[in-house]
Amino acid sequence: MNATPSSSPAMSYFAKELSWLSFNERVLQEAKDKSNPIIERMRFLGIYSNNMDEFFRVRVADVKRRILLNKIPDANFEEDEILLHQIQSKVLQLGKKFNQIHKDILNDLNEHNIHVELPEKLSEFHVTWLKKFFHDNVLQYILPILLSEKKDYSDQINDTMTYLFVEMTNQKSHYAMLEVPTDRVSRFVILPPEKTRRHKTIVMLDDIIAYFIRDVFSSFFSFDDIQCYAIKLTRDAEYNLDDELEEGLLDKMSKGLKQRISAEPVRLVYDESMPDDMLKVMKKRLNISQHDALIPGGRYRNFRDFIAFPNVGRQYLENKPLPALQSTAFTNHSSVFDAISEQDILLYYPYHTFNHLLEFVRQAAFDPDVTQIKVNIYRVASQSRLVSTLINAAKNGKHVTVMVELKARFDEQNNIEWAKTLSNASIKVIFGIPALKVHSKLCVIHRKEKHNIVKYAHIGTGNFHEKTAKIYTDFSLFTKHEGITEESDSVFRFIESSYKPFQFDHLMISPVNARETITSLINKEITHAEQGKTGRITVKINNLVDKELVDHLYFAARRGVKIRIIVRGMCSLVPSSLSGNDNIRIISIVDRFLEHPRVMVFHNNGKEKVYISSADWMTRNLDHRVEVATPIYDAKLKQLIIDILELQFKDRTKARIIDSEQKNSYVRRGNRKKIRSQIAIYDHLKKWESNYNNE
C-alpha cells in the first residue's frame, strides 16, 4: 500500500507572515544593489515601504485580531503571541537596514549632483524662495488638530498620510497634529537653480512644514518653544458586512469602507529622535496598545511616496525603457477576430503592449457582428480606457455584462464608483457570489459568423489595468477554442447562479474543481516517478501557503518527483524539510518588473500540460474565490512559456535561493553566463516576434 500525504512524516513550514517579510527583504536588497540605477534604488525603498504598509494593514492586523479574540489563552494564543513578537523583531531589524540604505543612497545621489537637503542647510536665496512657496502653496492646506488630554485621537488620522506631531511649550506643554498635504502638494519640492544647473536640490514637503511650523501656530498661540516630528499610523484593513438581505451589496460596501477610517491601529512609526516625554504623550493620545507595533524610524514617514521619486539628473540614473513589443499575430491582421481565428495568441506584459487587449475590446464595441461582451473587473485604472470602451459598446447596442468585484482589497471605493458609472450607462452590472471574491481575469465576446454565434475569450493572470500592465509581468491568452470559450462563458453563468451545477472539462475553476485537478495532476507525476519514468512539476506563483498542497509537494518529492518553484512572495514550503532529498528547488526573482503570473507545468510523461492561472496556491484562492486557470493547447505557445520559465531558472543576477534559513542568498553564477532573466525574456520575445512569419 502506497503512502499518502496525510500519513507522511511531519514536515516543517515557514510562517507565512515571516516568509512575506523575507520577500520584502529581497525588495530591500534591490535598493541596496549598486548595479541598479540610483533613482531606481530610491524607488525600491518606496516599494518596500508600500509593501510594509499593506503587510501591517492585512497580515499583522489578522494576527493581532486572533490574539484579541482569543479570550482564553491556549496553544494557538501562545503561538500567535510568539509570532507577533517575531514579526516585530524582524521589522525592527529590517528598519535599521532600511535607514542605512537610505543614507547610502542619499550620499550616492550627492555624487550625481542631486541633493536632498534640509531647509536649515540652504542658502538665504533658497530659504527666501521656500518661505514664499510655503505661504503661497502649502499653508492653505494645513489644518491642525489640537489635542486635549482625555480624548483618543487615533480615529482622526488618515492612515494613508504622514502627520507631524507638534509640541508647543511655555509654562506647560500643548500638543497638536497636522496632516502633511501630499494629496495637494508634491512631496518632492525641486528648488530653482542658484548657481550651476548641474546642482539639483530637492526639499521634502515634510521638512518645509517643520521649518516654518511657527508660522502655522504663532497667530493663535503664545509659546516659548515649538518642535514637531513625523508619525505614521497604520490600521486594520478588515471590515465587516452585515447580512441584512434588504440592503444591497453596494450600500453595504460603502458602509463597510467607512469602518476603515476608524479601525483599530496596528502600527505606529515615529521619528526616532522624538523625545521620550513627547513619545509617551503621543502613545496616550493615539491609544497605542501593547499589541501594536511601535517602531522608531528615520526622519521620513510614508516612504511609499518615494516610488515616484523624481529623476532631476541624467537619463542613465533610471532604468532604460524597454519599448513594448507588438504581437505579430495581431499586427498581421486588421481584425483582432481574424487574428484569433487563425490561431491562439499569447501576450506577456509588459514585454508586449497592453494595447492589444484594449484593441480586442474596442473592436468588439463597434463591430456590427458582435452581440455580447462580458468582462469581470477586479482592479482597473482610475481613468480606465477599458471601462470607457465598454460604455461605448453599450451605446452601440451591444449587450454588455460587467462583473465588478467590490471586495478587491484597497480598490473597493474605485470599484464602487465604476459600478455606479457602468449601471448609469445601462450596462448590466453583477456583483458576484456572497462570501466569494471573483478574482478571475475573463473577457468573453459573442460574435455572429455565418449564421452561428462564435465565442472569443481572453483569460489572463493579471488585471485589466493599463498602469500596472507596464510594471507587472502577466500572461494573456486570446482564443477561439470552443471548449475554452464555452466554459469561460459558463463562469459568468456560475457567478450569477452558483447554486446550479456546472461541468468544466478544460478550465480549472476555483472553488469548483481547481484543487481536485491540481491534486490529480500531481498524483500523475508521482505515478510516473514510481514507475521509473520522469516525474516533474514546475510552478511559478506569487504565494505558496496552502498546507494541503504543500504537503502534497513534500510527498511527491519523496516519491521521486522533481519539483521546481519560482515564488515571488510567501512560501510555507521549506526545501530542506526532506533530509537528504534535493528534489525541491525554489527561487525568487525581484527585478524592475513585479513578477505576477501563475503558471503550472506538469511533465505528463513528455506530453507537457501547461496552465496559466489567476490563482495562487493559497486556501483562499482555491476554496474561497472564483479563479480561472486555462490550459495552453497550442504547441508553440506552450513551448514559449516553458522557454520563459527556463530563462528564469537560469537567472544569475536577480534570482535568490529560498532555503530553510531565509537568507535570500543570490543564485551563484559559477562559470555560467551572467543572465538577467527579465532582460533575457525581452530579447527572447523580440526575436520570437521577428521570426513569427518565418515559422
pLDDT tops 90 at residue 334: yes
What confidence tens digit (pLDDT) does each residue in 384-411 have? 899 999 999 999 999 999 998 877 566 6
What confidence tens digit (pLDDT) does each residue in 68-102 have? 777 666 667 788 889 999 999 999 999 999 999 99
Q: Give dist(CA 461, CA 597) in Å, integer.
A: 5
Amino acid at 539: V
Q: Give dist(CA 425, CA 25) in Å, integer.
A: 45
What is the SS3 assignment for 93? helix
Q: Give dist(CA 474, CA 485) in Å, integer.
A: 20
Q: How far is CA 533 from CA 110, 524, 606, 608, in A?
A: 59, 11, 10, 14
Domains in the chain, start-ordered, CATH in brackets? Answer: 114-317 (3.30.1840.10), 328-503 (3.30.870.10), 509-694 (3.30.870.10)
What confidence tens digit (pLDDT) does each residue in 144-186 have? 999 988 787 887 888 889 999 999 998 889 999 999 999 999 9
The pLDDT assigned to 263 comes to 61
Q: Give dist(CA 581, CA 674) in Å, integer.
A: 28
Options 102, 439, 552, 603, the catalytic residue = 439
Question: What number is the average pLDDT over the span 487-505?
Answer: 90
Name the H helices within 4-135. Answer: 16-32, 38-55, 61-69, 75-111, 124-133
pLDDT-derived band of residue 686, with 50, 70 and 90 as boundaries?
very high
Question: What number is the average pLDDT over the span 7-13?
Answer: 65
Tell me, yes or no, if the pTM score tops 0.75.
yes
What confidence tens digit (pLDDT) does each residue in 363-373 have? 999 999 999 99
Which of 271-275, 294-298, 616-620, 636-640 bottoms out in mean pLDDT, i.e. has the lowest? 294-298
pLDDT tops 60 at residue 666: yes
What confidence tens digit (pLDDT) does each residue in 635-651 have? 999 999 999 999 999 99
CB of 458 within 8 A of CB of 443? yes
Handedness of CA 42, 659, 624, 63 (dihedral sign): negative
C-alpha cell at 511: 472553488
Question: What number is the average pLDDT over the span 344-349?
Answer: 99
Q: Is 439 a catalytic residue?
A: yes
pLDDT tops 80 at residue 268: yes
pLDDT-derived band of residue 578, with 50, 70 and 90 as boundaries?
low
pLDDT tops 60 at residue 259: no
